[in-house]
Amino acid sequence: MAVITYREALNQALREEMRRDPDVFLVGEEVGAYQGAYKISQGLLEEFGEWRVRDVPIAELGFTGLGVGAAMVGLRPVIEFMTWSFALLAVDGIVNAAAKLRYMSGGQFKIPITFRGPSGAANQLAATHSQALDAWYAHIPGLKVVAPATARDAKGLLKTAIRDDDPVVFLEGELLYATKDDVPEDESFLIPLGASDIKRSGNDVTIVAHSRPLHTALKAAEILQEQHGISAEVIDPRTLRPMDIDTILESVGKTNRCVIVEEGWPVCGIGAQIVDDIQREAFDELDAPILRVTGADTPQPYARNLEQIALPQADHIITAARRVCYQE
């Protein structure tokens, strides 16, 4: 094990997979000479050369199409978007091509492509650069959607995503790049897609959170225990499609209460799907209504004080947990 940053873990995953498989290559804006807008690709151009670490123009739909074509003929492209907000320009390539070609070809084409880059809010990047579009991509049949919250999960899940024969949308929390975690140095380290992880055990309420809000949920869980005597179990789905709902249902069966946290907007969000799964499969286990803590239903503000109000905070989660435990 080594304590490294989320950024370094992604770099390790890319480097290890590119060494292991010569069909893996990286394409994106500034991934080569500049070594990545967030330095995820640092050192890769020097090791693998410009044919496998390829700088491209600011044309998201164009280089997405390049990647889909390469995947159709057996290569394993990794497409980096400078932000998932910019990937809106490439939605046709992701949704109408990558997600559907295996189905429309009757299985004649595999599409082993990974789309990755920063997602969600950073610090005062305002409305068009701060969007958590997780639910958009999880809505699409044919896509797998991953949103790791820790450096360990980022490495293991990215390696698995690159090896997968289907298109994977890999959402990296923009404010997570500098966070640190114990990460296995073993190059065979993989985390399967579709497996939730219990980040904290508890008995009184289940809190489900992914990506950056997971860290907020863990902070809230500590305060709930110390100040309110509430033992919260915190679950990270890690993969949003396919989602391991069984682990969540098992936890709700134990705690009988649930709070779901996400950075995205409330309408048709990831949390809404989880609520539906729980009420269908575990309704009789519930002792209180399920509550959701989400981003505000508004474009992301630029002003720092308003930005904080618009994002899920620990006190929002604490209030929701106390309500389902009938302390408020």
- Residues recognised as catalytic: 60, 129
Say if residues 86 and 133 touch (Cβ distance below 8 Å).
Answer: no
Give the rounded distance of the alpha carbon of 6 from its chain centre: 13
Give the rounded distance of the alpha carbon of 167 from its chain centre: 14
- Backbone φ and ψ of 61, nearest 5°: -65, -35
CA dihedral 266, 219, 120, 301 (to 10 degrees): 70
Return the SS3 of 178.
coil
Handedness of CA 218, 221, 225, 228 (dihedral sign): positive
CA dihedral 182, 263, 92, 242 (to 10 degrees): 60
Helical H runs in 189-313?
212-228, 245-255, 270-281, 304-310
CA atoms within 13 A of residue 13's CA, in its CB half-sphere: 29
Measure the CA–CA gap between 231 and 84, rounded to whole angstroms: 35
Query: Of 261, 316, 259, nearest to 286 (Cα)?
Result: 259
Strand (E) positions, the chain? 2-5, 24-28, 53-55, 76-80, 114-119, 144-146, 168-173, 180-183, 197-200, 205-209, 232-236, 239-241, 258-261, 291-293
Give the rounded distance of the alpha carbon of 289 from its chain centre: 26
Kindly report the number of other CB atoms within 10 A of residue 242's CB atom: 13
Task: Please tell me what DSSP assigns to residue 287.
Answer: S
